[in-house]
Structure formats: C-alpha cells, structure tokens
Amino acid sequence: MEGRNRVGVVVAMDGPSGSGKSSTARAVASRLGLRYLDTGAMYRAMTWWMLEHAVDVEDPAAVAAHADQPLIISGTDAAAPTITVDGTDVAGPIRGPEVTAAVSAVSAVPEIRERLLVEQHDIIGSGDIVVEGRDIGTVVAPDAAVKVFLTADPQARAVRRAAEQSGSDVEATQRDLVRRDRFDSGRATSPLAMAADARHIDTTPYTLEEVVSQVVALVHQATQRIGAARFDS
C-alpha cells in the first residue's frame, strides 16, 4: 500500500446516497493505508436499535430519550469494516429497507448527532483516516486536510443504489433518493452541505478507479503541502 508515512491526514468525503461515496472512500483508504469510517453506518445502527426497541422514530423526543443507550462499535479496517450494536453484528440488517426508510428521521434528532459526533471525534483521533458521511467537511472534521464532495446524476445514483439492493426498482429508488436529499439538506442540525473549501467531483462520467485516482492525487498534494509547512517551521 502507498502512504504509510502520512501521519495525521484526515480525508473528509461527503455527498448524497448513490454518489459513489462509500466505494471511493474505502478504495482510497485501502490504497493509502489509512483507516476508514462510515458515519452513515453509525446512524443506521442507531436507527436499527430504535426500531428493534419499538421506539417511535417519528417522535424526536422519544428518539432523544434513548440516544445514549445503544453501544455502537465501528471497525475502521477499510478491507472489512464492521459495526456492532450491543455486541450484535448489524452490518447486514442496517442496510434493509426498514432502516433506510427511518434513518433520515433518526439522524435529524440533535441528541443523536451530538452523541455520535463525540464518538466520531474519538475514532478520528490523530488522523490517518478517510471519513465519509454528509457533514464531515462542515461539522465532523472541518479542519481535514482533504475535503471532497461527490455528486452524480440522480438517475445514475438510482441505478447504482438499485444494483446494490438487488431487485430494487430504479424509479422507486430514485424517488427515495430525492426524498432523502431534500430531508437531509433541509434539516436544522448538520445538514447535507458542501464545505466552502471542498473539491466537488461529479462522478457520473467516471469509473470508480478514475474517481479514486482523483482523490488520491488530492491527498498527495495536501500531504506535500503539510510536509513543506512543517519543514519551513
């Protein structure tokens, strides 16, 4: 792997569902020998717990009252990321349709975001990590050396997401993605937004490898600048 000597670098990768965020983030982390954190999985894990415990996910007060109860552990190995809730492996269940339909409502609750933000900061620590989500460059890691915001044509995003969820209808998937975009961009707490200093990449015309190469190049440029600044000081 490349880049084992890149101490402290944080790569913040944001964007809507289906933009290629997860595949790109994991591939970049693997190529550069960095850790990887999927913050969206943390919100999905919290949502799964709420549903399992019959919490009304449409009631923000009810969700907030249980925000500190689940024990969520996120693995950071890009080759095999893991996530458990109270010791149960939920990597599969959190991708189901019930969680997908409820995660936007749960993740909009301020107490949920505050609790998971603390855990995200603990995991990021001194860096050497690629972090993906919707508010990484703006809220979670605003000082990240590299900030990337991925987007893609809505239809392309729907095709990708439907392929991941084998058998899903592309048109229905696209409607759901648009709904989630509207909800996540409009929420009061930590909305989906591109940081002012982020590099925007529209992934529609590119292969995954081409997008990964673009991001890796940005990391190389950033670490060279950091190295020069340390040398000059």
Mean pLDDT, the chain, rounded, equals 89
What's the whole-number mean pLDDT along residues 107-119?
Answer: 97
Q: pLDDT confidence of 193, banded at 50, 70, 90?
A: confident
Res 174 pLDDT > 80: no
pLDDT value of position 229: 54
Percentage of the chain modeled with pLDDT above 90: 71
Residues 200-210 have a mean pLDDT of 94
Reply yes or no on whether the pLDDT at 3 is more than 50.
no
50 pLDDT higher than 90: yes
Among 91, 97, 99, 95, which Cα is nearest to 52's? 99
Which region among 49-58, 69-78, 112-121, 158-167 has the lowest average model confidence (pLDDT)? 158-167
In order of their start, the domains of the chain are: 10-227 (3.40.50.300)
Q: How do residues 124-164 score in pLDDT, each as one tens digit?
A: 998 999 999 999 999 999 999 999 999 988 877 777 776 76
Q: Per-residue pLDDT averaged across 213-233, rounded?
A: 78
Q: Which of 48-52, 145-149, 192-196 has the lowest mean pLDDT?
A: 192-196
